[in-house]
Amino acid sequence: MGIIYNEKFKTWTLNTKNSSYQMKDGNLNYLLHLYYGPSIGDADMGYQIRQYDRGFSGNPYASRNARTFSLDAQPQEFSTQQQGDFRTSSIEVVNGDGSYSFNGTVTDHKIWKGKYKLDTLPTVFARENDTVDSLQITLSDPVSKVQVHLLYSVFEEADIITRAVKVVNGGDRPIHLKKIMSVCLDFLNGAHMDLVSLPGRYGQERQVERQHMTHHIHTIGSVRGSSSHQQNPFVILCDREAAEDYGNCYGCSLMYSGNFLAEAELDQYDQLRLVMGIHPKQFVYQLKPQEIFEGPEAVMAFSAKGFTGLSHLYHDFYRSNLCASKFVQEVQRPVLINSWEAAFMDFDDTKLLEIAKAAKKMGVDLLVMDDGWFGKRDDDNSSLGDWVVNQEKIRCGLDQLVEQINALGMKFGIWFEPEMVSEDSDLYRAHKDWAMEIPGRPGVRSRNQLALDMSRTEVQDYLIKSINQILDNANIYYVKWDINRSLADIWSNALPTDKQGEVYHRYILGLYRVMDAIIKTHPDILFEGCSGGGGRYDPAMLHYYPQYWVSDNNHPIDRLKLHYGTSFVYPVSSMGAHISDSGRLVPLRTKAVVAMCGTFGYELDATHLTEEEQQLCKEQSDLFRKYYPLIFQGDYYRLSNPFEMGNMTAWQHVAKDKSESLLSVVVTNLTCNGPQEYIRAKGLLPDAMYTINGSKEAYSGSALMNAGLPIEREVPEYTAFQFHLVRKDG
């Protein structure tokens, strides 16, 4: 049983294959958090909580003269508001009487088979053969009648626990929600824990930072209207000594694409609290009597096997339970070439056909027509929002162009940026009020564009109709869905002044509705997400897209760090990675090896390549297809850290049955007369024998993992190596 309620101890224990999570209906019915870590079965962990007078700590009035119970020192499952707990709270609500208070205690619970659902937000799903139990615990405030429903689902085999929260206004007056966290996770002793996050910037997304917990509130989040280039809605709390292959690691991944906040606070008693949810900046959400607000889902995982163990849990789960697209597991994804770096917006149907014919010689399966095909779009000053084909560029018509590309034996893809509008567009001229602009103030432009008010139903309907019309009238196989700016001028002309604090969240809800109506109704189209590169790379986006563009930065040496950081939570199969002209000193083969740590494709002008280069590309394309099952379905290992000084970066893909492996190495820092380098493999069977790149000689898995493979020294800078290890039968 994944969820056990012990009536004697009033505990709920959530058990996965290798972990346990426990909470208790404690003193005065406050919900206390007891444990998260390696499996404990149904043991009562309440003995850990020691209650004594800590001096000048607030005590609930109902405790009368007992000064030993203070919420300021108790590990809570959902931290209260204005109840004597001065640490970061899980909720901030303004009640109908104007008071700022929530005193939620346990009033009900229920357990059932299967996965809970949210009506307004994307969630992970249970597959037919998954063992999943769900739990709802209700916390009620007796004065305001506000209720908080805490939702949990336990995926036993996957070692995953999901959480979400619903707020119900059970009173008779409107309330205003100003903060709502989906997760509150308290540790009794966090003084020797570290916080790992994935900060970055445009072109350098998801770099890795690790910091010791100190007696401060460590804040990670985004207020840019999206999960952003600068931060990612994923954090790890880990033991100070945790490393790739050992140590306790706790991951929290938030399924939300808008403003988010994660706060980690080490308190005066060395207790550590992590909360994560919607960022409270400019967030004020009104709930009328009986209305419900849903917070986004969080996906939690625990591993005692270090960062690699934690990554494997997330990779496996997100490959199987996050996106229902057939391209995740059933259909092999094509090798594509994108027109952007080949032609930018200066192309026509003839130019696209020339690129396609040349790309066919490179082993490419799919041509993508990027920005510039619609309205009067010759630069980034116009036409966003006018999703009609530019007949001066696509003279033969889109359907005929697609047919000509298909006749070459290639598939066709197209680019959209649905959420944006240009001031020089027919859409803006007809519906200026659909753009995000504060009345009386000039708008903030970014990339010469404004954002559409996605909170408006009529905007959503327009996008659904106009984009579907394009997709339904030509044989489109692939869509690149882009957004190229952060949000500013947060205002909706469709909402009254006292509800402008709802716009950020309503924007995201509107976006999800549009994606539901376009993406999920076109199951035969491969969708890829993009946000100025990797600026909105989060699990909610990956619920819709099986792959996401890692970064606009295609330099293969920079990509080593980008792929490394992204891999801490997101599977390689989700990483959009291409070969481009970026990094002119880097050999084409090295670019291909790096791009194989992802979806593989090209961002260059195929017509400018020599026949020799085209042939080399074809060989690399064929090699990617050969290794596709291993790369997309195998276990991924980070063999070296590109953020640390070293002479090379290495990574490895290992088949689930250990029958084969692909080990990749890029030499990044040659030194004169340097030492002999060895790369130690991981994940192999110690007693099995493996051949390397088809050689007759075989080496034991133990030797390859403990002694390693010698790497050639006298090679040009940025040389790459691939070692295909195959287990010998018997």
Q: Are 356 and 413 in contact (CB under 8 A)?
A: no
- Distances in whole angstroms, Cα of residue 538 to Cα of each of 40, 257, 396, 428: 32, 6, 38, 30
Encoded amino acid at 259, one letter: N
Rounded CA-CA distance 409/105 in Å is: 64
Tokens (6 digits) for 724? 């295909």
Q: What type of residue sits at position 274?
A: L
The Cβ of residue 647 has, within 10 Å, a number of other Cβ atoms equal to 16
Q: What is the spatial distance between Cα 553 and Cα 532, in angstroms, rounded to a whole number?
A: 10
Helix or strand holding residue 315 (H, E): helix 306-321
Helix (H, G, I), strand (E, B) or coil at 305: strand
Q: Which residues, in sequence order, are CB contacts of 129 under 8 Å at separation 6+?
A: none
**DSSP codes joined into one string, 153-201:** EEETTTTEEEEEEEEEE-SSS-EEEEEEEEEEEEES--TTEEEEE---B
What distances in angstroms separate CA 58 from CA 82, 87, 267, one per listed residue? 10, 12, 15
Report the alpha-carbon distance of residue 499 to residue 505 in Å, rounded: 11
Catalytic residue status for 42? no
Q: Which helix (H) or strand (E) holds 481?
A: strand 478-481
Q: Which of 537, 509, 515 is nearest to 293 (CA)?
A: 509
Q: Which residues pair with 102 in a beta bridge?
A: 81
Q: Closest by alpha carbon to 78, among 146, 30, 130, 126?
A: 30
**Where would I find the beta strands (DSSP E) of 290-419?**
292-294, 298-303, 336-338, 366-369, 411-416
Nearest-angstrom CA–CA distance, 377 and 371 = 8
Cα dist from 123 to 118, 163, 274, 291, 582, whole Å:
7, 10, 21, 21, 37
Count of other CB atoms within 10 angstroms of residue 81 = 19
Clarify whether 613 is annotated catalytic: yes
Amino acid at 730: G
User: In the chain, what's the furthest Cα-to-Cα distance?
Assistant: 87
The answer to whether 462 and 453 have CB atoms below 8 angstroms apart is no
Out of 44, 403, 426, 613, which one is annotated catalytic? 613
The residue type found at 520 is K
Phi, psi of 593 (to 5 degrees): -60, -40
Q: Of 316, 437, 482, 538, which is the active-site residue?
A: 538
CA distance 24 to 7: 10
- Backbone φ and ψ for 20, nearest 5 degrees, come out as -135, 150
Helix (H) or strand (E) holding 91, with range, is: strand 91-94
Using CA atoms, how far apart are residues 415 and 350, in angstroms rounded to an integer? 18
Residues identified as active-site: 538, 613
